[in-house]
């Protein structure tokens, strides 16, 4: 049995410390997802609060056949999408907004990267590069990439949470990955004539 199941049972019995434990376990993940989707720090902070509060209030709807973390992420994604729509002032916003239906994305940069490219950068410099790079993705691609690749959800779970079909998730994931790759290549590719270590 997953330890979260026991914690949830204790919360149901009125043990708020058990809930605090769940909050501390997943707050970083909820914040990360919210920040990635909304690209807005204030929203992300609000979403962390709202998502946990909702989870607490709706705990009777949580069924042990899914993981608590997946259930919580679903709530957080919902909250994030809601905020996003609100900010965009309900302009025809849907996850489909930024998708062209042509065949997609053709790689252009074929330079190989150095063996451990991320090690050429300090931690905060690297985080900066990764943040700026993913911010440049269309939001419908970014959400798919984050749920599928960063949070490691399945294609089906990602599709369900974002209200997309499985094929749509797959095609966005491909394009998100290729676009990120292309952009990171600028930073990570092996400098020509650089001495091998």
Indicate whether 103 belongs to the interface with other proteins (CB under 8 A): yes
| CB-based contacts of 76, cutoff 8 Å, min separation 6 | 30, 33, 34, 47, 48, 51
Please count the residues of this chain forming the interface with other proteins, following the rule CB under 8 A. 58
Q: Which strand (E) or helix (H) includes residue 44?
A: helix 41-57
**CB closer to other proteins, 93 vs 178:** 178
Q: What b-and-e string marks burial along 31-70, b requiring 16 or more CB atoms within 10 Å of the CB?
A: bbbbbbbbbbeebbeebbebbbeebeeeeeebeeeeebbe
Indicate whether 24 belongs to the interface with other proteins (CB under 8 A): yes
Q: Restricting to residues 157-186, name those near other proteins by CB under 8 A.
A: 170, 173-174, 177-178, 180-181, 184-185
How long, in residues, is the chain?
197
Indicate whether 5 belongs to the interface with other proteins (CB under 8 A): no
When binding is defined by CB under 8 A, the residue of 7, 37, 48, 76 that contacts other proteins is 48
When binding is defined by CB under 8 A, the residue of 2, 5, 12, 66 that contacts other proteins is 12
Indicate whether 110 belongs to the interface with other proteins (CB under 8 A): yes
């Amino acid at each position: 049995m997953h330890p979260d199941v026991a914690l949830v049972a204790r919360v149901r019995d009125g043990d708020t410390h058990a809930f605090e434990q769940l909050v501390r376990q997943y707050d970083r993940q909820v914040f990360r997802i919210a920040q990635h989707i909304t690209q807005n720090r204030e929203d992300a902070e609000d979403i962390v609060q709202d998502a946990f509060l909702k989870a607490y209030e709706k705990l009777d709807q949580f069924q042990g056949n899914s993981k608590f973390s997946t259930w919580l992420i679903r709530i957080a994604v919902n909250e994030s999408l809601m905020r996003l729509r609100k900010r965009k002032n309900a302009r025809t916003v849907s996850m489909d907004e930024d998708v062209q239906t042509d065949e997609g994305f053709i790689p252009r940069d074929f330079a190989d990267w150095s063996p451990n490219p991320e090690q050429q950068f300090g931690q905060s410099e690297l985080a900066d590069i990764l943040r700026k790079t993913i911010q440049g993705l269309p939001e419908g691609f970014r959400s798919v990439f984050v749920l599928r690749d960063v949070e490691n959800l399945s294609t089906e779970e990602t599709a369900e949470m974002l209200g997309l079909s499985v094929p749509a998730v797959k095609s966005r994931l491909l394009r998100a990955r290729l676009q990120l790759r292309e952009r990171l290549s600028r930073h990570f590719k092996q400098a020509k004539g650089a001495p091998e270590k």
